[in-house]
Structure 1
Amino acid sequence: MRLLFLALLLVSPLCFGKTVVVIQSYHLEYKWDADYIDAVRSVLGQDHDLHVFELDTKRLSKPEWPQKVAEIQSKIANVNPDVAILGDDNAFTLMADHLVAQKIPVVFLGVNGGPVQHPTLEHPLVTGILERPFFSESIRHLRKILRQKERFLVLMDDSPTMRNAVNEYFGDKRQATIYGSELDIVLTNDRDTWLDTVVNAHERYDAVVLGTHHTIRDKDGEYVIPYDLLKEAFYRAQLPLFSFWDIFVGEEQSIGGFTISAKQEGLTAARLASLILNGMRPDQIPQLKSLSGHYVYSASGLEHWNLDLSPMIASQANFVE
């Protein structure tokens, strides 16, 4: 049955003339959002009336969110969509209840929380893709490309997104063994702690694998720009930095790895939406976890850390430079 569903997902035909809204948690200049929206447009944009709205919750302060939500709710009422695609946890938290109350089917992507954090995930009008880092697959891959591969540091911000991902996979443990490699998992929102952990990682580990770092603040409580933080880590680290997400791979960032693809998440969400537009009920469509990652690498990062990919891995990888 699952194989049949996945086959339908890949080849689902599109009906014509329907209205779709995409509601971003963040903003179009944020690479994750830009990549998945491009993917959604590639599937739905030619045949449907597609509207994209930004909640902008990375740049707006929390007290400003209710006004932005009200603005988008008003716009949704005007376009009367046949289906709504919600990107990431904040959009789901802020918009899902309102949409299902209006009898609008919801497809989500990039959601890390489960039913405890988001009870509306269990509503019959809701389906989508739960975003989950590829912990095992990433470590297995890194073991193939590193000479020293016994101990890894997994470093993340202490956000609901990362706590949910870690707790679902590891439970309460912050140490684990995967494919014979030992992992220590550190979650922190403190800039100095995060950077010190990176800088001193060579004393205990063979490599660092990064999760998100978007809720980190300095000692004065000021928000730390993620790109600036990662750039500083790139130059101060004495070990190679890898990533679970492709949006953190590039010049003066992480080297790469087996990563979640925003494009793939967007393609899958758009295909789920197309099934609904063709008459399937959301509760007939099983909720999925991130279906497939991809190998993404920075050429300058590989050079910086004097690493070479095998011909086989290089032939399968996407290079961002």
Structure 2
Amino acid sequence: MNTSSIKIGILAAACACSLSAFAAGKVLIVQSYHEGHPWVDAVNASVKKTLAGTGAEVEIFCMDAKRHSQEAEKLKAAQAARDKVASFKPDVVITSDDIAQSYFAKEYVGKAGPQFVFCGVNAEASAYGYPAANVTGILERPHFNETMKLLKTIRPNATTIAIVSDDSETSKWMLGQMQAAQDSAMKIVSSEQASLFTDWQAAVTKAQGAADAVVINLYHTVKKEAGGASMDPKEVMAWTLANVKKPTVGFFDFAIKDGVVLGIVESGEEHGYEAALMAKEILGGKTAKDLPIKTAKKGLVMINVVTAQKAALEIPFESIQAADLVIDK
């Protein structure tokens, strides 16, 4: 055998080893919420797309905690997720959003078994015992001041903002981060978390009477009655848009798609992509401790011109031209 043949043989063997490492890999995505939720679907699709061609076997488990948000229901879902880990035996578990961390993933910190990669986490990583030898991931933070600057392109004299959100754990962390991020250019004068729809309606009424613009944050765990199922988020948003006369601001792509006027938003696609890249590296031989925790940086500029037109809000052409995504129908 000549030298070239030896080199080719070594290269082929190396490639085969690399591919076999991926082919043997299993990835489990544990979602805090349900399939059909825009963030969940974006993360799932992005993970699958990024891992396509690696040979990794991907399965999904949904805790469904937005529609089933009672404590007993979340504990039951967490146990079901642990059962899924035991039966599927994944090499990597991707956990999305805070519920999956607080009720499920944190129980695995420092233990033998699969490596964990989180995404869409609003809390400080330390709240769950992260980072750890077997846990890394991507933090999610609202692009508050950047969004306030975008707001000022349509309301240059705006100086006050009011925030309305549901009572989810994610909302709690986000509200704290927004309070910490505010500067003298835009003051938060009201911040309300609503459990029931009647509370939400009162909070919206208070918000638009108190501020120059209203943040519609999360609205997915609002219920018509205590102990009941969460309402359809689109129903909550439809009432809100029909009753808010001030400009509305959001921090999620689905909020702008549902009718909020503008925002620089977090992207489930970005979080899924980054989490899948980390999973790839782990399947290739690295461990979570080799991969530092990241904060998602990109942020997408989104504007809903349909809502703006209905509210008689003038959006400068320069802002529309600079947007990553414009909702125009």
TM-score range, shorter chain: 0.7 to 0.9
Q: How does 1:34-45 map to 2 (within 5 A)?
A: 34-45=41-52
Letter in 1 for 2:122: N
Name the counterpart of 1:117.
127
1:27 to 23, 34, 41: 34
Change (3 A) 1:177 1:22: closer
C-alpha displacement at 1:90, in angstroms? 1.4
C-alpha displacement at 1:294, in angstroms? 0.5
Q: How does 1:214-225 map to 2 (within 5 A)?
A: 214-218=220-224, 222-225=228-231
Letter in 1 for 2:120: G
The CA distance in 1 between the partners of 2:295 and 2:262, in whole Å, is 21
Name the counterpart of 2:301.
295
Are 1:156 and 2:165 an aligned pair? yes
- How big is each residue's C-alpha offset from its partner over 1:278-319, in whole Å with a ceiling of 9 and x where there is no partner? 222212222122222101222321211223433332223202
Q: How does 1:1-321 map to 2 (within 5 A)?
A: 16-17=22-23, 18-47=25-54, 48-60=56-68, 61-100=70-109, 101-115=111-125, 117-119=127-129, 121-168=130-177, 170=179, 178=183, 180-190=185-195, 191-218=197-224, 222-225=228-231, 226-251=233-258, 253-317=259-323, 318-320=325-327, 321=329
C-alpha displacement at 1:41, in angstroms? 1.0
Letter in 1 for 2:160: R
Change (3 A) 1:57 1:314: same
Contact 1:199 1:238 in 2 (8 A): no
3-state SS of paired residue (2:257): coil
Letter in 2 for 1:294: L
Q: What TM-score, normalized by structure 1, do the two folds share?
A: 0.84
Q: What is the percent sequence identity of the aligned residues?
A: 25
Contact 2:94 2:118 in 1 (8 A): yes
The CA distance in 2 between the partners of 1:53 and 1:220, in whole Å, is 27
Contact 2:106 2:128 in 1 (8 A): no
Change (3 A) 1:227 1:151: same
Name the counterpart of 2:11.
none
The range that moved more, 307-316 or 277-286, is: 307-316
Name the counterpart of 2:10.
none
- How big is each residue's C-alpha offset from its partner over 1:25-54, in whole Å with a ceiling of 9 and x where there is no partner? 111111110011111111013322111111
Root-mean-square deviation (CA, aligned residues, Å) is: 2.6
Letter in 2 for 1:186: S
Name the counterpart of 2:7.
none
Name the counterpart of 1:4.
none
Letter in 2 for 1:188: Q
3-state SS of paired residue (1:122): coil
C-alpha displacement at 1:234, in angstroms? 0.4
Letter in 1 for 2:64: D
C-alpha displacement at 1:223, in angstroms? 4.7
C-alpha displacement at 1:219, in angstroms? 6.2
Q: How many residues align?
A: 303
Letter in 2 for 1:32: W
Q: Which of the two has higher C-alpha Rg?
A: 2
Contact 2:190 2:210 in 1 (8 A): no
The CA distance in 1 between the partners of 2:167 and 2:84, in whole Å, is 34
Letter in 1 for 2:290: Q
